[in-house]
Structure 1
Amino acid sequence: MRFFENGPNIPDVLLERRDQGQVVFLCGAGVSLPSGLPTFAKLTEYVVDFFDPPKGSELHTAFMPWRDEKFEGLRMPLDQIFQLLHQEYGRDQVNALVAERLAQVNNVGSDEHKHELIKKLSTDPEGNVQIVTTNFDRLFELNEAELPIYEPPGFPDVEFGVSLRGITYLHGRLNSPEDTYHPYVLSSADFGRAYLAEGWATNFILKLLKHYTVVLVGYQAEDPQVKYLLQGLNHDGKFDRDKIFAFDRGRHEDIETKWRDRGISAIAYNDHDDLWSSISAWSERARSPRAWRAAIIELAQRSPRELLAHERGQVAHVIKSTAGAKAFADSDASPEWLCVFDAAFRTMAVKTDFMDDEIFDPYQVYRLDDDPPRQEDTFRRQLTHEHLLSWRPNDGVNSSGHGICNSSIFVQPRLWHLLRWIIKNINNPITAWWALRQGILHPVLRQEIMRELWRVKALHPKAITVWNILLDYAEHKHYLNKENASYIFHDRVKNEGWHPGTLRFLRLHLAPYVEIRSPSGIEAVRPPVGDWESIPFSDLATWETHFPLLDQQDIAVPDENLMQVMEVLQSHIHSAVELCAELGIHYFYRVPTCYSNRAPNRIDDIHTSFEFYLRLFTKLAEVDPHKAKGLSASWAMDDSLYFYKLRLFSLNQASVYEGEEVLDFVLNMAQEDFWGGEGQRELLYLLRDRWKDFSDEGQRQLADRILNGPDKPDYQTDEEYSVKEKRDSYRLAWWLELSGVKLPATAKDKLESLRFEFPELDASWARSMADLNEFTTYRVASDESTQAIANKPASEVIEFAESVSEREFGSRVQLRPFTGLAKENPRKALASLLFNARNDKYPVQYWSVLLDEWCVDVGQVRLWRTLLLRLERLPAEAICSFSYSIGRWMEKHLTTAFSIDSELTWRIFDTIVLSLASDSGDATKSGLGDVYHGGHAIVRSRRTYSHAINSPVGSMAVALLNVLNTSDLQVVDGIPDELKTRLENLVKLPGEGGDHAMVILTRHLGYLDALDSLWVKEFLLGRFEFDSSCCEPAWNGLLSSGELPDGNLGYSLKPKFLGLFPRIYQWHLDEGLRRVACQMIVEFTLLPGLTPLRFSPAETRGCLRAMRDEERQSVIFYLSLLGQRDNARWQSVVIPFIKNVWPRESKFRTSNLISAWVSLLAESGDAFPDLLKEMKWLIVPAQIERDWLDDFQRARYGKRSLSTRFPKEVMALCNVLIQTTNAVPYSLRNVLEQVQAAAPELANHHEFGRLVDLLDSL
């Protein structure tokens, strides 16, 4: 947890133990620096300068390296220098001088002393100060008259319960300079006596670590005090690093390994001010943890999106404890905090609302300050993001499966309070939105939701609906898979027949349910804002009513069971209707139909129970028309979409209804049902199929009703109604005629007059009346027909094209006659633009179409020259307005233009370049836009290949390379001057243009070098220098090519490649390009033979040292990929690289890198034992993600699991990585079972027993 945005990330376990009075601060010289006291090195320098040893003496020579801050060699340890001082000038005299210097303390108010802050933190449960220090000064004693003091060797024996209250001076306490006795631990002899010969300091530290958690502050890992204090502490790498922590300045990855080798967990900070500000805030927290917790709970009353990441981290820290979770649950915190606590939510992908271009990134809005980056690369092993709604080590009973979002029974107290908070917010749409995205809800959470629904009267109706449907859905998922239920039903029908138990199974387990899925777009990741009234159900989830019954066509129902089965199915249909009504679903993406057999290629797998019911009714109409008619009469027209259609379908059964009955029903239908009902398709087929059963008079009456049209709605004008009434009548009557119905003569005459009135309507329009009204995905086609524009004079073409360009709502066709004209008759299209140009009009849309669609044969020289001459005379403003189309045209056609008239083409090119140069820079921008979050653009490089190929200048550079490629040049010819000059001019363009030209050139660097190495050397290679303004686009182009430069080019670039890291971090490159750079460095290292291009192990090692941890991980993943692609390369490439190239400094064994190495081992297959043997020095105890062992227990690539094939090696790996209960991976029990089954003798080994003990202690 961080107290401030730039402060150190203090582990939760340390904060918790301090609250319990179990933390002791061990303080070094850095604590006293703000008070004007020196570091150990400066103190030594003061003493040496005072005595001024002769030049060339052993003492003078030994201390000289300490005076040079840039000295990188070995320095004599300072304790040994003090030993020389003691030998040369006497122990008492030297120590007295030390006392004199340390007595010179600045007169700073006690409230500002760092010591006062530490005294507030390093206390026992009663608040008594308990501090250990290696400093000699007495600054901790200020304002503490009665504080116990301990000096060596008389330390409190904490082993026997002696209180540590007071100040323990581990290396001695400062006496007055006038005193004759100064017993300080300064020299190597002093340290040897304290830690080895007499060992009183060692014994005290070991006992202290046994009973307390120790925090080092004011030290560096290289300090002599640290060396002696912790000597041998981590000799086997198995010391519990949660027992001792150290604050140190620097990046976490740099300091982690320095301290880890000493058995210490490092806490990194940027600046000393950041450290002391955090310690000050921590001391305030320590004064009253409850008050601090209350302040954070108050902070949590705000929306988490209003807070900074470290503030969200503070709230997360609070709810990690049972007391904090209880306080949080008792508050009125918004359920939006679920998006923070749930790791899956805060790491969801970025989503865009395509309607208004809004972007929502859950990671940026809800992330915690210590969250690892969200990895987009699926090749990478996912880093663990802490899920606060599942079990944590301090929750008590251990189960990795325990959480609010799964099906375990037990709920730990902390999780119970969070569950209680969720229930308290059951009436908030955000809570429902979150719950709808959970795969399985905890049984206790489901139970409490049900109780809350029963208890609370004030729940919004929408909330009641959502929670009830969610509970039903959870019950369905908890019981069994719906497909399995259908198959079970089929088996029961086959084996048991239509027994009452089979009918009950059908009723209970094949009832309709609502399938819940995440909505598309931004609503999938952005929680709803507002109350229930303002939030539609569709913003919460995608709801679909499903009938789980499958393959109903294969189910046979005897006649005697028809009514029983239909009764159950009818109840299911009613339930589906009620579900749709509850959720406001007034449509289906696939509508039910009673005539699915008349819809070609349509298989209805959505409304299966309705289809089953329809099939059974058809059979009932055959075997018992009387019952069928009675059943039909029970269906009201306004009952539902299903029964409305069923009623019309039943009327089409000749065995059930006479023709006159049908006619009477249809003539008496309400106007809104006849013309606008949901069963239009069923009505059409009813009229068509039963028309012949109507009397002549009945047919005339029905035809009159059709041709009289629908009633006029209130919202239509008389003119609008007149047109719509005629079109509706025309369409229905025409559909009947096309279906073979013989209309009365008067109706035919009316139909003919309507056909004359609406000539634009064709038969397909009428036939589509019976099409299923379903939601479908379709594309809007472009109609490029030139029929309407072909005969118009050139002067009217543009005006007409603009008049028809707007597409009507719902139309699937976009009229683009000018596009067709540009393709079929480019001469006329160009003439229309030339006509407008006479009036200084240059319509961007149509110039862009002409240039984009230009495909004139090279033989039409006159037309080509007309276009070229016009392009040459285009004003600069016009060129800039459609510069993208000009660039694309050049990329496709510059070579052709060059072959027709090279001089004119070059003039055009130069005119365009001059026009772009005169622009402010907008015309040369890439077509790729920025990504925005919260109204601010995310900083990323625009000097990339992706931006270049989507920019005018990038296209022009490609065009010049196309001309070069078709010039049939020989290597000795070099690149023609006219091409080189224009390539250079493109690079000089302002704005983004010059960068994009440079990217294109360096992407083809090898090709250009093969043609003209001198020009490349003079003009391009200098751009790769890191002080060049073009270095970023130059490197972007080269890296985007992915090609390893060879020959003299590669040799020239080799020194620059060796310096690419860390310079590459100055640019905002995509992660992918940094990864390519890493891969290139690996490939340079793997070049065969003794080529001077090959990177030596030392050179590659230097590159690796200059990388960040993330890129070093990329190197490891690439090595893994090489081995996976070719198993032989594990031995020939990966193992030698690890052995000879990888840097061996301990700082390159961070937890992230160890995690990457473990991932590599998991992929190594048969090479696993050899790799593990070679990597022993790389794998050290570390806290990595707890699922790292999963891949070792799985059978992969057709082979048994690694723990089965190599049990001894897997157990050895586990013993290195798993040292404490906090490091136990989820799969350890399964792996140990596989190890024991594969090699039973290993169960008797100490290492196996230790791992079992760790499991048992959880």
Structure 2
Amino acid sequence: MRFFKDGPSIPDDLLTARDEGRVVFFCGAGVSRARAGLSDFFGLADKVIHKLGVPADNPAYQILHEAREIHKRINVSGLISADRIFGLLERDFFVRDIEAAVAETLQPTEAVDLSAHQILLDLATTPEGKVRLVTTNFDRLFEDCCDTLKTWQSPHLPDPSRHSEMDGIIHLHGCVNKGYNGAEGDGFILSSSEFGRAYLSDGWATQFFREIINRFVVVFIGYTADDPPIQYLLEALSKEVGKLDGIYAFQSGLANEAATKWLHKGVEAIPYAENDGHKILWETLSAWAERAKAPDEWYNSVINFAKKGPEQLEPHERGQVAHIISTVEGVRKFSDGDDPPPAEWLCVFDPSRRYARPGYAGGFGEKGPFVDPFDLYGLDTDIVPKQIDPDDHFKKREVPSTAWDGFAANKLDRQNLKDDSFSAIRGYWATNVSSLPSRLFEIGTWIMKVADQPASIWWAASQFGLHLGIQKRIQWKLECSQKNARSVTHQAWRYLFEAWERNRESFYRDWYELKATIDKDGWNSAVIREFAAINRPYLKVEQDYWDRLTPPQWEKNIRVQDMLKLDVEYPEPIDDVNVPDEWLTFVVRELRKNLEHALQLETELGGYGLNTISPIIPDDTPDGNHYTRMHGLSGIVISFSSFFEYLIKFDTTSAKQELKAWPINDDTIFSRLRIWASGKSELVSAQAFGRVIAGLSDDAFWNSYHQRDLLLVLSKRWCDLSKQTRKEIENRLIQGRSKWDSEDDAEFEERKAWVTLTRLRWLANNGCKFTFDLGAKTKKLQILAPEWNPKYAEKSAESMEGRIGWVKTETEYSALLGEPLESILGKAYELGGRKEDFLVKNDPFAGFSVEYPIRAFSALTNAAKRDEYPEWAWRTFLNAEARKGDKPKFSALIAERISRYSNDAVAEFVRPASDWILDISQHLSSSFPQSFDGIISKLINVLRSQPPGS
């Protein structure tokens, strides 16, 4: 977490450990140098050398000078350690004189700035008021901040295993006396020999540090990785225990460089910018200290600005909120009260939303501003994703594996698991979902509180499900809320719950497992119920990614579809199901219930999917779209009809009873089935057939998607019907359909007449004899629909299903042979394109160009005389495969003719002309080089004259 935009990112584990009083702060020379202005170890050595009057030819003086020169030359410190300088001084001076010089050098001014030391004391103070701070500095500046603090120094150090003893300022390397004229106690650890005894031979300092890291988290502040205390402390220890955990060090510089300096010592570096005297470091530590002194105030301030919504905040501010919800206590504060931060924060906590694909805002057909969710919800610790071309709809944006996920169990969650977080072999937790870790449970509490906000529903729609405990709490809130309060959001949640329940059940339901059971044990009532459940349609809920890149806001007229995308999903069709005859009645009844359920779902969602059911009687067209017939709603209707047809053959009585059970107030699914079934004479008598047709509503009778099945059963049974029944059907056909709402009167009359004419003509063409004069009635109706043609009736009973297949090019050109030269192109254009059969493209000029190339070229030349250069004709002629086999003389003729045309004229077909010259360049350039040069020059000039990008 960062306190400032450009500040160091402090690990969550460290922040949490400090809040829990589990951190010991180790403070080096950089702390006393930052604001108090004291010297670092080398600076101290330099001043001591001058105070002692060490001559320039003394080894200690020379080594100090050489260490600085090396640093200047290669910018690497630590090659010569300062403790070696003090070791050399001990050869020529008494230790007490050296210590006195050190003490005198470290004496601060009266106006010394102690703010850096106070910051560290505040950070080192636990919630219980204990101070856990170790310093390798010799000065007494920490004591000057608070003279009531207990101080420790060797050989009298606290026992880290006794937490109550770990309280006060611990001077690990000694401390100056109050008069700043010498050392207290056993003196300073200055020279390499003294460091060796403390960390190696006697090892008391190493042992002390080992006890600390076994029980506490350690933070180094004011050190470099090459400082003598660090080298002795960590390198000796790392050899003993290997990798070290829970040790951090603030280090100036770039992230990679900082990490490298500490990596081999087993320490995690916290990098920061060194600019302006480590300013950002101390601003960060100061803010952290303020948080330590008044945590509740800090939490409240962050949560208050979180209420503005994540879009209004900087990435590092969103990172502060992410830190808060990373602990149980933080989430409780975040969700506390009746007005917690808004549901849009779900998009921050969820990495899949932070890294969602960017695009343009706006619904279908609209192009609003460009929106990148990462800009709105990204964290300062996130890896910045690569930019994506908004027009590249296939490019994906992957979520980094290291991306923070607020909904994933973290280390603290796993450490604090309770017994009810585990499933059990028996008892309550054997059949119920285990409890969430405490932190995730509290996030569920917040989700419950913001559940009435559209953003929460929009986010939830992209999830496979939510924990059942959270779902139940949301349901409870909906039930307890005021009646009609935001009922649209309540309805949206109920759709989600229904969809998630299906997801949960279907996870354990598989046809192949059931088939294995059937193969082993056969069919029974339980198997049939499971078979029907596998084939049962269900609600599918998704987030509408196309229309919305960000969550919707609450508006008075907000709709369910503004928050989520609803659809009815149909299971994949099951092939080769052989139901024993004795179980057919049961199977058909259960599958009919599935159809009733589909009807209810589709109607609830607006009924749009009910209007495109494929005909039950298949079309004979070989390129019909069989996928459409066998999938979706059409698939389960046609599958049901197959089972019902078997039932008719096996048990007609049961089939008749089943037919009576079909809903009669439906104009879609069951009207289609009833129309189709009425064509079965063994099931529906001629008299009953008339009642079925008469019982169809106007909408069902005139539904264009019912038309194929209706016309086919009418033509099949027409001769069996009584004269009275035929007249009733005839009258209904002649009377025509009803007028639609807002339909223009003139258009209505024309359309009604058109449909009536089409159906009457088709029935007549298929053997139906009418009791009225069809010719006279046709003439009368054609007055209302003058453009109607009898040929339109030929395909009235064709399926309205989509057709799939390869488009075939028909190049038959006989109609062009008798055309005058000047009308060949016009006639070819008229006959070209797709007519009745959209899978056949007519291109007579293509065939003509192959078989009669000279006349085709003459037609093009004739059009050029009229200043007409149709691109389609030149493209067809030049791209014909036959052009590659033309004799060089004919190719030269074409090239020379094109070369004489104006640049603007050739620009109309420059692309096909360029492709053509590439194909024939070899034989043209060798046989007619002048013609070749001419066409090449022409094409180059034309292409140069084209605007960029054309």
TM bucket, shorter chain:
0.7 to 0.9
Specify the SS of the correspondent of 1:266: strand
CA contact under 8 A between 2:122 and 2:292: conserved in structure 1?
yes
CA contact under 8 A between 2:153 and 2:171: conserved in structure 1?
yes
Query: What amino acid sits opposite 1:583 in the alignment?
Result: L
In structure 2, the CA distance between the partners of 1:665 and 1:229, relative to structure 1 (3 Å rule), is closer
In structure 2, the CA distance between the partners of 1:767 and 1:313, relative to structure 1 (3 Å rule), is same
Query: In structure 1, what is the Cα distance between the partners aligned to 2:314 and 2:820?
Result: 64
Identity %: 25
1:385 paired residue among 377, 395, 403: 403
The Cα of 1:617 is off from its aligned counterpart by: 4.9
Q: Which residue of 2 aligns with 1:245?
A: 248
TM-score normalised by L of structure 2: 0.77
Query: In structure 1, what is the Cα distance between the partners aligned to 2:707 and 2:648?
Result: 22
The Cα of 1:682 is off from its aligned counterpart by: 2.8
Q: Is 2:392 the partner of 1:370?
A: no
1:87 paired residue among 68, 88, 91: 91
Q: Is 2:109 the partner of 1:115?
A: no
Q: Which residue of 2 aligns with 1:578?
A: 600
Query: In structure 2, what is the Cα distance between the partners aligned to 1:853 and 1:412?
Result: 70
CA contact under 8 A between 1:343 and 1:385: conserved in structure 2?
yes
Q: Is 2:651 the partner of 1:651?
A: no
CA contact under 8 A between 1:483 and 1:550: conserved in structure 2?
no
The Cα of 1:322 is off from its aligned counterpart by: 1.3
1:398-436 Cα shifts (integer Å, max 9, x gaps)? 5999799x9851322222222233334444454444445
The Cα of 1:261 is off from its aligned counterpart by: 2.4
Specify the SS of the correspondent of 2:238: coil
The Cα of 1:227 is off from its aligned counterpart by: 0.5
Q: Is 2:579 the partner of 1:555?
A: yes
Q: Is 2:269 the partner of 1:266?
A: yes
Query: What amino acid sits opposite 1:860 in the alignment?
Result: S
Query: What amino acid sits opposite 1:328 in the alignment?
Result: F
Alignment of 1:780-795 (within 5 A): none
Query: In structure 1, what is the Cα distance between the partners aligned to 2:935 and 2:111?
Result: 81
Q: Which residue of 2 aligns with 1:727?
A: 754
Query: What amino acid sits opposite 2:600 in the alignment?
Result: E
Query: In structure 1, what is the Cα distance between the partners aligned to 2:111 and 2:878?
Result: 79
Q: Which residue of 1 aligns with 2:630?
A: 604
In structure 2, the CA distance between the partners of 1:226 and 1:629, relative to structure 1 (3 Å rule), is closer
Larger radius of gyration: 2
Specify the SS of the correspondent of 1:390: coil
The Cα of 1:279 is off from its aligned counterpart by: 1.8
CA contact under 8 A between 1:486 and 1:548: conserved in structure 2?
no
Query: In structure 2, what is the Cα distance between the partners aligned to 1:642 and 1:92?
Result: 104
Q: Which residue of 2 aligns with 1:543?
A: 567
Which protein, 1 or 2, shows the higher relative CO under an 8 Å CA cutoff with sep ≥ 6? Answer: 2
1:244-292 Cα shifts (integer Å, max 9, x gaps)? 2111123434333432322322222234333333222212221222222
In structure 2, the CA distance between the partners of 1:913 and 1:578, relative to structure 1 (3 Å rule), is closer
Q: Is 2:218 the partner of 1:217?
A: no
1:25-50 Cα shifts (integer Å, max 9, x gaps)? 21222223433344334444555678
Query: In structure 2, what is the Cα distance between the partners aligned to 1:335 and 1:71?
Result: 54
Q: Which residue of 2 aligns with 1:293?
A: 299
The Cα of 1:226 is off from its aligned counterpart by: 0.8
Query: In structure 2, what is the Cα distance between the partners aligned to 1:778 and 1:222?
Result: 74
Specify the SS of the correspondent of 2:169: strand
Specify the SS of the correspondent of 1:394: helix
1:746-775 Cα shifts (integer Å, max 9, x gaps)? 32566589999878979588426441456x
The Cα of 1:654 is off from its aligned counterpart by: 2.1
How well do the aligned residues superpose, as a CA RMSD in angstroms?
5.5
Q: Which residue of 2 aligns with 1:476?
A: 505
CA contact under 8 A between 1:122 and 1:130: conserved in structure 2?
yes
Q: Which residue of 2 aligns with 1:717?
A: 744
CA contact under 8 A between 1:570 and 1:613: conserved in structure 2?
yes
Stretch of structure 1 that moved more, 71-80 or 222-231: 71-80
Query: In structure 2, what is the Cα distance between the partners aligned to 1:817 and 1:425?
Result: 67
Alignment of 1:903-982 (within 5 A): 923=948
The Cα of 1:21 is off from its aligned counterpart by: 1.9
CA contact under 8 A between 1:645 and 1:682: conserved in structure 2?
yes
Query: What amino acid sits opposite 2:345 in the alignment?
Result: W
1:304 paired residue among 310, 321, 332: 310
Specify the SS of the correspondent of 2:126: coil
1:96-118 Cα shifts (integer Å, max 9, x gaps)? 555555446695765xx333322
CA contact under 8 A between 1:195 and 1:202: conserved in structure 2?
yes
1:148 paired residue among 147, 150, 160: 150
In structure 2, the CA distance between the partners of 1:454 and 1:92, relative to structure 1 (3 Å rule), is same
1:226 paired residue among 210, 226, 230: 230
Query: What amino acid sits opposite 2:715 in the alignment?
Result: R
Query: What amino acid sits opposite 2:579 in the alignment?
Result: I
Query: What amino acid sits opposite 1:578 in the alignment?
Result: Q
Q: Which residue of 2 aligns with 1:409?
A: 434
The Cα of 1:310 is off from its aligned counterpart by: 3.0
CA contact under 8 A between 2:136 and 2:172: conserved in structure 1?
yes
The Cα of 1:343 is off from its aligned counterpart by: 4.2
CA contact under 8 A between 1:158 and 1:211: conserved in structure 2?
yes
Alignment of 1:793-812 (within 5 A): none
In structure 2, the CA distance between the partners of 1:545 and 1:96, relative to structure 1 (3 Å rule), is same
Query: In structure 2, what is the Cα distance between the partners aligned to 1:342 and 1:19?
Result: 26
Q: Which residue of 1 aligns with 2:391?
A: none
Aligned residue pairs, count: 895
User: Please, which runs of 5 or more residues in structure 2 have no aligned partner?
Assistant: 389-394, 424-430
Query: What amino acid sits opposite 1:412 in the alignment?
Result: P
The Cα of 1:563 is off from its aligned counterpart by: 5.7
Q: Which residue of 1 aligns with 2:427?
A: none
In structure 2, the CA distance between the partners of 1:240 and 1:822, relative to structure 1 (3 Å rule), is farther
Query: In structure 2, what is the Cα distance between the partners aligned to 1:305 and 1:175?
Result: 56
1:428-449 Cα shifts (integer Å, max 9, x gaps)? 4544444454446534345545
Query: In structure 2, what is the Cα distance between the partners aligned to 1:104 and 1:892?
Result: 91
CA contact under 8 A between 1:819 and 1:853: conserved in structure 2?
no
CA contact under 8 A between 1:351 and 1:521: conserved in structure 2?
no
The Cα of 1:215 is off from its aligned counterpart by: 0.5
TM-score normalised by L of structure 1: 0.60
Specify the SS of the correspondent of 2:581: coil
The Cα of 1:334 is off from its aligned counterpart by: 3.2
1:77 paired residue among 75, 81, 93: 81
Query: In structure 2, what is the Cα distance between the partners aligned to 1:163 and 1:569?
Result: 76
CA contact under 8 A between 1:136 and 1:174: conserved in structure 2?
yes
Query: What amino acid sits opposite 1:39 in the alignment?
Result: D
Q: Which residue of 2 aligns with 1:319?
A: 325
Q: Which residue of 1 aligns with 2:20?
A: 20
Q: Which residue of 2 aligns with 1:29?
A: 29
Q: Which residue of 2 aligns with 1:771?
A: 799
Query: In structure 2, what is the Cα distance between the partners aligned to 1:116 and 1:816?
Result: 90
In structure 2, the CA distance between the partners of 1:179 and 1:506, relative to structure 1 (3 Å rule), is closer
The Cα of 1:665 is off from its aligned counterpart by: 5.2
CA contact under 8 A between 2:417 and 2:437: conserved in structure 1?
no
In structure 2, the CA distance between the partners of 1:849 and 1:45, relative to structure 1 (3 Å rule), is farther
Q: Is 2:340 the partner of 1:332?
A: yes
1:440-494 Cα shifts (integer Å, max 9, x gaps)? 65343455455556555544363254034225304423553355346646766x3
Query: In structure 1, what is the Cα distance between the partners aligned to 2:516 and 2:492?
Result: 34
Alignment of 1:819-898 (within 5 A): 859-865=890-896, 867=898
CA contact under 8 A between 2:103 and 2:181: conserved in structure 1?
no
Specify the SS of the correspondent of 1:554: coil
Stretch of structure 1 that moved more, 636-645 or 509-518: 509-518
Q: Which residue of 1 aligns with 2:428?
A: none
In structure 2, the CA distance between the partners of 1:818 and 1:597, relative to structure 1 (3 Å rule), is closer
Query: In structure 1, what is the Cα distance between the partners aligned to 2:879 and 2:685?
Result: 64
Query: In structure 1, what is the Cα distance between the partners aligned to 2:631 and 2:894?
Result: 58
Query: In structure 2, what is the Cα distance between the partners aligned to 1:581 and 1:489?
Result: 34
In structure 2, the CA distance between the partners of 1:167 and 1:237, relative to structure 1 (3 Å rule), is closer
Query: In structure 1, what is the Cα distance between the partners aligned to 2:719 and 2:691?
Result: 15
Specify the SS of the correspondent of 1:732: helix
Q: Is 2:666 the partner of 1:639?
A: yes
Query: In structure 2, what is the Cα distance between the partners aligned to 1:846 and 1:41?
Result: 86
The Cα of 1:913 is off from its aligned counterpart by: 9.4
The Cα of 1:55 is off from its aligned counterpart by: 6.3
Query: What amino acid sits opposite 1:864 in the alignment?
Result: A
Query: In structure 1, what is the Cα distance between the partners aligned to 2:543 and 2:813?
Result: 42
CA contact under 8 A between 1:8 and 1:267: conserved in structure 2?
yes
